[in-house]
Chains A and B, each alone.
Chain A
Amino acid sequence: MSTKSIDQEILKKIRERQVTMHPTRHFLVPRVCSVVLLALFALFLVLLASFILYAFHRTGVLYLPMCGSAAFGYLLHPFSWFTGALFFGGLVLVFLFGCIICKTAKFYCMPLLIILLIFGTAFMAFGALVFMSPLHSFLKSFSERHDLTIVKSLYNTATRGTETHTATGIVRESTPDGFELVTLSKKIIAVRIDGSTTFQKDYMIHDNDAVIVVGNMSGTMMTAGFVHRSPAPLSAEETRELSAIDVNEDASE
């Protein structure tokens, strides 16, 4: 083909309608679909972030840093396989989201790391907002009331199985040697206090206090390393519900 004839060749094809311009809807439909899919993906990531925060809150992991530097050693232990998988799965999904955004939007001019930081922070911030709302408490109680097996087991798996190292719940029957802890997942743990137990500064333990206990578990007995008042007090309803659990009742789910 001669170079000089490129424009003539093209114009000929256009005039003979061998080539036609795609209508606007040809571009609009995929664009709208991709925006909707990305929005749904982002919404899922926000819900996932809030769920991970909720699981951390229920198992006490979220508040471990407040127990002092010595408690950091416990930080990795309370990760249940499920919460850990959710956490790392979430990181992978955020990375995937960043890559898709780079391909579909005009974010390619920014380094991927910056995009990941921006979106990661945004998902955590919105996730924290959802976490602070009553959504998860509502969903959990709703799934229990209506026996929604999958949702119920999702919440139970995420908030259980970490109590070998950390537990959040309310204090019962406190004595100088220990107390009973009714955990948020309605397990009853006998907590032993010894000379090595550290309490939150200026905190005296009382019945019905919501606390986080970090320690070593043996059967249903935990030797407390740290006892810290929960920064997120339980609602009156939750306190009443946990206080009413019978000592002999096998409340484990």
Chain B
Amino acid sequence: MERDSLLTTDQPSDETLVAHVIDGNTEAFGALVRRYEQKLLRYGRRFMSGREDIEDIVQEVFLRAYKNLRSFDRSRRFSPWIYRIAHNSFVNEMRRATRHPTVTFDADILLPNRTRESPEDDHDRAEMREFLRKGLEKLDQKYREPLILYYFEEMSYAAISEILHIPVSTVGVRINRGRIALRKIYSMSLPSL
């Protein structure tokens, strides 16, 4: 799950806030929005770099979340659920803008892979973030999103799997391939840096 979302005991959890909203406490939804707006704006800006209307799209994400709040399974985590809505909205917006159908089937999801989540030290993570900042736009979309969620949103493979609706092992494969592609992009751009 999201590694940076550990809450102190005096703060209600996301799931508790959802329960309050469903029980009629509208203000609790405001708390959820405040908790996630910066995260989703950051995610959207990285995922759809160059778009001016990220804030409008993120607002739509929250409105969709509110409308569909009763479909949220309270035994699960809220964070992947709202990120899933954001992912769908961003993909739809990109599809609308480019008028290109996004790839819906990928051989990666067919076969089991042996990739496991391996802890990285702070230096490696910082280095990858640096590579990502410089080479993100040149990276294929299917690698870009798992890398953003892993390195910037600090999601686990399981949470990314839940957001993107792909097998956990595929998340690992895409992150590994994305890292390799990023290193290649970075090394190719070195002379011009």
User: Which A residues fall within an 8 A CB radius of B?
Assistant: 1, 3, 6-11, 13-15, 19-24, 26-27, 102-103, 108-114
Contact = CB atoms under 8 A, between A and B. Distances in A.
Nearest to A103: B165
B26 interface: yes
Contacts of B56: 1
Contacts of B110: 111-113
Given A21-B67, A111-B112, A114-B112, A1 B167 contact: no
20 contacts: A3-B37, A6-B33, A6-B62, A7-B30, A8-B30, A10-B62, A11-B26, A11-B29, A11-B33, A14-B26, A14-B29, A19-B66, A19-B67, A27-B68, A108-B161, A108-B167, A109-B161, A111-B110, A111-B170, A114-B112
Contacts of A114: 112
A111 B167 contact: yes
A23 B111 contact: no
Nearest to B62: A10
Nearest to B69: A21
B63 A19 contact: yes
Nearest to B107: A112
A contacts with B: majority SS: helix
Interface residues of B, number: 36
Nearest to A20: B67
Given A10-B62, A11-B26, A112-B109, 14 more contacts: A1-B55, A6-B55, A6-B58, A6-B62, A10-B29, A11-B27, A11-B30, A13-B63, A15-B26, A21-B67, A22-B71, A23-B70, A108-B161, A108-B165
A10 B33 contact: yes
B29 A110 contact: no
Nearest to B40: A6
Interface in B109-163: 109-113, 158, 161-162
A14 B66 contact: yes
Contact of A24 (B27, B58, B67, B70): B70
B41 interface: yes
Contacts of B29: 10-11, 14
A128 B96 CA distance: 48
A111 B107 CA distance: 10
Contacts of A108: 161, 165-167
Instruction: Specify which of A6, A19, A21, A109 lies most central, judged by the most chain B CB atoms within 10 Å of its CB.
Output: A6
Nearest to A25: B70
Contact of B30 (A10, A23, A27): A10
